[in-house]
Amino acid sequence: MMETDLTKPTAPADNCEGTVSVALKAGTSFPLTESETLTWVYTDEAGNSSEQTQEVTIDDTMPPDVTGDLTEVTAQCPIMMETDLTKPTAPADNCEGTVTVVLKAGTSFPIEDSGTITWVYTDEDGNTSEQMQIVTITDCPSAPEENEPLGIGDDELEAVVFPNPSGRYVEVWSPVESPIRILSVGGELVLKSTTNTNGRLLKFVKR
């Protein structure tokens, strides 16, 4: 709040004719960013002065001012985590202070389909506003067809892992209890069996 936002009190009566000036006490600083007590000084033409205090309460209830639309996000599938997105610039607020910018609670990752996300802007008094942003996924490849099973007489089989690169775990379904290794094109060990509970489901851990 600036001094021009205040309304001066009416000058009090004086025992002598003449103008009584009204001014804030010297040393009052602006802008006012929190509740405080102001002191008004009344001075007559003879230089006699009196003072009167006034309570000022700063009660910010206005949220950050959101204007316009956010630029559409276009990406290939998937957007794995929030850090892959660029946060919007914090909008202006009616009071001084930092406005935080976060995704709305419940936003899940990875984002694999086109849609919208919601950004939440919060000022230091807890007032919030929201703004939606369109997300377009342009080239999310479909999952590959199911790989052919390994036959009884087969020693090796080529298979496609999706997505590529894969996550930390790859699950292989096996009808028999047998150790399995996954090698790179160059013959190096990439994944090895770590769990074989019943001879049917084998779990691998990327090294």
- Among residues 168, 170, 169, the alpha carbon closest in space to that of 160 is found at 170
pLDDT value at position 32?
86
- pLDDT tens for 60-71 read 889 999 999 999
- Mean pLDDT, the chain, rounded, equals 81
- pLDDT tens for 14-43 read 999 999 999 999 999 998 878 899 999 999
Give a yes or no: residue 155 inside a domain. Answer: no
DSSP symbol at 153:
T
For residue 173, the surrounding DSSP H or E stretch is strand 169-173
Give a yes or no: residue 99 inside a domain. Answer: yes
Q: How many domains does the chain have?
A: 3
Give a yes or no: residue 15 inside a domain. Answer: yes
Q: How far apart are CA 19 and CA 16, in angstroms?
A: 9
Among 137, 156, 186, give the residue marking a domain's end.
137
| 51, 81: one domain | no
Give a yes or no: residue 51 inside a domain. Answer: yes
- pLDDT tens for 132-155 read 999 999 875 555 555 555 555 555
Q: Is 24 within 8 Å of 39 (Cβ atoms)?
A: yes
Query: Is the confidence at residue 184, as pLDDT, over 80?
Result: no
Q: How far apart are CA 107 and CA 122, in angstroms?
A: 17
| 78, 111: one domain | yes
- pLDDT tens for 77-125 read 788 899 999 999 999 998 888 999 999 999 999 998 899 999 999 999 9
pLDDT value at position 207?
44
